[in-house]
Structure 1
Amino acid sequence: MWPEQELDAGDYFPRQATGAVPDGGRAEARRAARRKKTKPRSSSPRSGGRSKGSSPSAGRPDTFRRLLPQALVVAFLAGGTSAFVANDKAVRLSVDGESRTLHTFADDVGELLEDEGVDFGTHDIVAPTASTALASGDEIAVRYGRPVKLTLDGQRREVWTTARTVDGALRQLGVRAEGAYLSASRSKRIERDGLDLDVRTERTVTIMADGRERTIRTNAATVREAVAESGITLNGQDTTSVAPGSFPRDGQTVTVMRISGRKEVREEPIPFDVQRTDDPSLFAGTEVVERQGHQGTRRVTYALRTVNGVKQKPRRVRSEVVREPQTQIVKVGTKQLPNSVSGADGLNWGSLAHCESGGRPNAVDASGTYGGLYQFDTRTWQGLGGSGRPQDAPAEEQTFRAKKLYVQRGASPWPHCGGRL
C-alpha cells in the first residue's frame, strides 16, 4: 500500500532573486497616481500688468508666488509616478504548464493568485509558497493535484499526483514501468477529475509441471495466464496448487496438478432399527422377535480421482435411498418364572443339559430342528407355553419348560441322555 504522494514545491520552479519592495507599497503608489494636479491661483486685474512708473523688479515677488505652487505640484506628481512604476512588477505565471508574463501590483504570491482567479487546494503545489513576497522577474508555478485510482499488482489504492501524464505519475509514484502492463498508454493525459489505472509489473514465477520446472518473467493478471505463457496446457480437471484465478506473486512457485477421475456407484446397506416392547405374558429374560427387521439399501455415487498419478480418497458426490429399512419388533418378557416344578426339582438337569447340548443354551443341531440346552423342537417348545424358538430363550426358562415336559412324559423325550437325570 502507498501513501498519497505529491511533488514537493522545492522540486520545481526555483525562486528568482527577489528585489526590495519600495517603501509605501501598492496603496501609496495608487494614491499618488490618483492625485490630481492642483490648479494655479487666478491673478487679480491689478496684477495683470506693470503699473506706470513702477520698476521691473517690483513685479517679481508676485510672479514667484504664482510659479511656486505649480513647481511643487509637478515635483509631487513626478515622485508619485516613480512610486507607481516601482510597485509595478513583471512576473511569469505558470498554471498547470501554461505560462504567461503579466504585470502586477500584488505584494505576495497568494495575492497575485487571488487577483488572477487561480484557486488551489491541499493536493496542489504552489511554488514559491503563497506567503512569499513578489519581486519583478519572479516565476510562479501552480501544479494541480489529480486523483489516481491505482491498482498495482492486484492492490487497489487512491493516490494523488501533480503529473499531467501517466508516465509522469508513474515516475512520481516510483512505479517501475519497464516490462509492465498498463491499462492506459504512458503518454495519456490525466485530467483534473483523475484516472483509473491498472499496473501489473513484471514478476518471476516458476511453474512445476509434468516433472519439469519452467521459470518465466510475466505481467499476467492470473496464475492461469502465467501457466499458459509458460507453454503448459491445463486439460479437463487439471488445476494448480494455488487458485488459478489468483494473482501471481514475484518469486512464487506454482505446481500443475494433472487430474484424472471417474465416478463409481456403490450400493450400501442401511441398518434397521430394533424396537423392544414389554410383554407380561412372557417370562422375564425371554425375547421374542414379533417382526423381523430388514436392512435398507442406499445408492451412493463417489468421485474417484488420481492427482499426478496418486489415488485420492473417494469423495461422495450423491446419495439416494433405494429401499427403506424395516424396523425389527421384539417382545421382552416381564413375567416372573416359578421357583420350582413339583416332581422334577430334585433331578440332575445340569447333567442332562451337558449331555444334550454341551451346556450351551443357544445350541442348534445340524439339521436345525432341535435347539437349546435340552434340544427341544419348536412345536414341543411352544406346546409347553414357550414363544419363538427354544434356543432364543434364557437358560432358566429352558430348564423350567424341560421340567414341565418331564412331569408330562418322563425321561422319554431324551432317549439317549435321559438316564443322567
Structure 2
Amino acid sequence: MNTVSEQSSGSNVPSKPRTHHLSRRWPLVAGVAAAAIVASGTVAFAKAHKTVALDVDGTTTSVSTFAGDVEGLLAAQGVRLDDQDEVAPGLDTALRDGSDVVVRYGRQVTVATDGKESDVWLNVTDSNEALEILASRGTDVRLVASRSGERADFPLRLNDDGPVAVVADGSTRVVRAGGDGVAAILDRLDIELGADDRVSVVSVEDLTENGGKAVKEAEVAEVAEKSDVDVALQVERVETKKVTRTITIEHRSKTVSDSSRYEDLEPAVRTAGKDGERTKRYRVTTIDGVVTDRELISNKVTTKPVTEVVVEGTKERPAPDPEPEPAASSESSSSSSSSTPSTTRTAPVPAGSNREIGQSLAAARGWTGEQWTCLEALWTKESNWNHLAQNPSSGAYGIPQSLPGTKMATAGSDWATNPATQIKWGLGYIAGRYGTPCGAWGHSQSVGWY
C-alpha cells in the first residue's frame, strides 16, 4: 500500500474568530470569482476600508481590511500559497466591501481506480467532494488511507456536510464525522487495525455495487437510504499466511525378463512399488476471509516414488522323466487301509531324483513300505515331485505345494530351489497335521487337498 501524506502547501490562517465550515464545493468558486471581479477602481477605492469573507479550506472568517486586492489580503492574513494551491478570485483581483475570497490548499491523495493506485493532487476539503470530482475516472474509485503503525492517516476530512457509514468486520455503523479524520473515527468506534489491514474511503454507491468481500451490500444500502449517507469508511482485514499442500506422485511399474526363471511360472514382484509425495508451499492472501492472491513459493519432490519391478521368466522347462508303469495290486494290498493307494510302484526310484531324496528322508522317519507308497502317491498328485511347480490359481509352490511357498523358509533359505529343503518341510508338515503320509493321503482322497 502506498504511503499517503498530506501535502498542504499553505500555512494555517492566524488566529481569527472562526464562524463555521461551509458546505462550499470547489467547482462553485468560479462563480465566486466572477462576482468578485471588478473592471477597474481608483487607488483611493482600493485602499478604502472594507469587510470581506475569507474562506481558507472551508473555514470562513470575516476580515476587516484596507488591502486593495486578493494578494494583499492573503499577505496581511499570513496565508501563503504554493504551486498546488488555488485561490479565487485571482491574486490581482481588486477587493470591494462584501467580496468573497476562497483558498483551497492542494493535497496529495492516493486514489485506487478499478484496483490500480495512483497519487493525485486535489483542492478539496473533504472526501465526499473528492469522490464527486473523481467519479468520472472509473466504476470503482476509492481513496486509500496510508498507514503509520496502527494508525490510519488521511489528508482530508471525511464529510463536512453529513454522516459517514463505517463498514468493518461485517457490520455497518453510521457516525457523524464532525470534521474528524479517519484515525479519530476509528478510535471513536474502538476499531483496531492489524499490520496489513487496508483502510479506504469510498462512495456508498460504489461500495454497494463493487464493495469488498465482507460488505453486506443490502445492509449498506438500507443504512444509506435511512441515514442519507454518501460516504463510507471501509476497513478490510488482510491476512497473509503460508499454506502447504501435499500431492501424491503415483509410482510406475515395469516388467523385466529373467533368463534363469522358468517361463511357465507366474510373474513375480522383485521390487515393491511405492507412491511418492510432492510438497507445494503457497503464500496466500485473504481479504475479509476470501482468497485474493495465491503465490507459489516452493515446489519440491519430498519423497521420490519407487518403481515396481515385475520379473517374467524366459527359461524353457525341460520335459519330465517318463513315469514307470505301475504293477498290478496284490491281494495283500487290497486288504490294507483305505488310505493306502490301490497301486504300488515296483520300479526302482531313479537315483538322484527328487523321489529318491524323498524316499530316503521318509525312511529316516520310519516311513517305508505302505507309508512311502502313500507319500509317493500324494506328492505325485500334488506336483509330480517337481520342486519348481507353482499352482497358477492358488500360488501353492514346490513338491509339497506349500501355500504360500514362503512357509518352507523355516526349513531353509533355499526353499525355492532346493528339493531336499522342500521335502524336509513337507514331511514335518504331514507329521504335525496328519501323523503319517497315509493319513495325509486319505484326507486328500476325501476332500481333494491336504
TM-score normalised by L of structure 2: 0.32
Larger Rg: 1
TM-score normalised by L of structure 1: 0.33
